[in-house]
Structure 1
């Protein structure tokens, strides 16, 4: 059975996911919708790795034609987003600008009462956790779709002779 329709469907599914990753990454540059933190260079350092723009976004769009590039892009987005989630945001605390959750191994995620350590930007922990969760989920979904595309490509390559098999007869 030919699977070209399946591959096309997977490719089309990646495009909206890529756009969502790009949008989520762009929003990370503007905590609470404010510009001042990017202007003051007060964003978490891993945000500048642009995991959603590059990995989950641009490279993913290229994966419609090359699923392996998509695997690399979605994997990159997932890994950097996970690292950023574990590190936590850079924020203004009673001790100044710092990464107050950096050495906790993500424990702050389960201890919501510690989020008040971050005084500015307002609700930065919620902002980052929400958008990083979106990036983790979308890039994980993209990765699965790309794995399916790779498998589909291998199956198609192996089974192509079966799909396009024609009967050849000799007419005497």
Structure 2
């Protein structure tokens, strides 16, 4: 496959992944579908790091634009464009990695919730075995309603999304290197015989 077509595919694939990351991060601010928890500061600490919004969102969306435009110029872009796509893809790798790490930490530590009728905190943090393996412990969180399922679902989505972004951006770095070193596969137009 041509390096330009590959860049075009990578760029267009990153758009929906970045949008999913942004939406998941925004949704995490409203556990139980209520604004009172964010107003009272009663949200999971990893949500405040905005891994999906900043890392998997903005830091992937900007490279997606450039990578997409690099591949849009016919079959392949020029060597300079491919070199720049390596740099932009590296920014995407950093953003996806940040989102991935925040999602992993959010899953490991568990949600911030009301437990033991009056206490607010992260009851699953540093507990063995992990709450992820024992679903019967999820009822420990009383408020917000279904917060464990909410956090697990959204942080898992961020985890998968950022892993895909990481793979795509890393593959674009390799693709950009080939396009930069070996040249593009742009075919010369044939004149009249």
Establish whether residue 131 from structure 1 lines up as the match of residue 154 from structure 2.
Answer: yes
Aligned-partner Cα distance in 2 for 1:4–1:55: 25
Higher relative contact order (CA 8 A, sep 6+): 2
Computed over aligned residues only, the root mean square deviation of the Cα atoms, in angstroms, reads 1.6
Deviation of 1:30 (Å): 0.5
* d(CA) in 2 for partners of 1:6, 1:23: 27
Once the two structures are superposed, residues 129-168 of structure 1 have per-residue CA deviations (whole angstroms, 9 ceiling, x without a partner) of 00000000000000000011001001111210x73687xx
Matches within 5 A, 1:92-131: 92-94=114-116, 96-104=119-127, 107-131=130-154
Residue 5 (structure 2) aligns with: 5
Residue range with higher mean Cα deviation, 132-141 or 27-36: 27-36
- For the residue of structure 1 that corresponds to 2:114, the secondary structure is strand
Distance 1:157 1:116 in 2: 55
Structure 1 residue 32, shift from structure 2 partner = 2.1
Q: Is the 8 A contact 1:60 1:74 kept in 2?
A: yes
SS of equivalent residue, structure 2 residue 132: helix
Match of 2:56 in 1: 56
Structure 1: 5+ residue stretches without partners: 167-172
| Equivalent pairs, count | 165
Query: In structure 1, how many angstroms separate the alpha carbons of the residues matched to 2:187 and 2:44?
Result: 56
Give how far 1:63 is off.
1.6
User: If the length of structure 2 is used for normalisation, what is the TM-score?
Assistant: 0.81
* Aligned CA distance change for structure 1 residues 163 and 106 (closer, same or farther; 3 Å): farther
Partner residue of 2:178?
Answer: 155
Pair 1:67 & 2:82 matched: no
1:92 aligned counterpart, secondary structure: strand
Judged with a 3 Å threshold, the aligned counterparts in structure 2 of structure 1 residues 138 and 105 are, in CA distance, closer, same or farther, namely farther
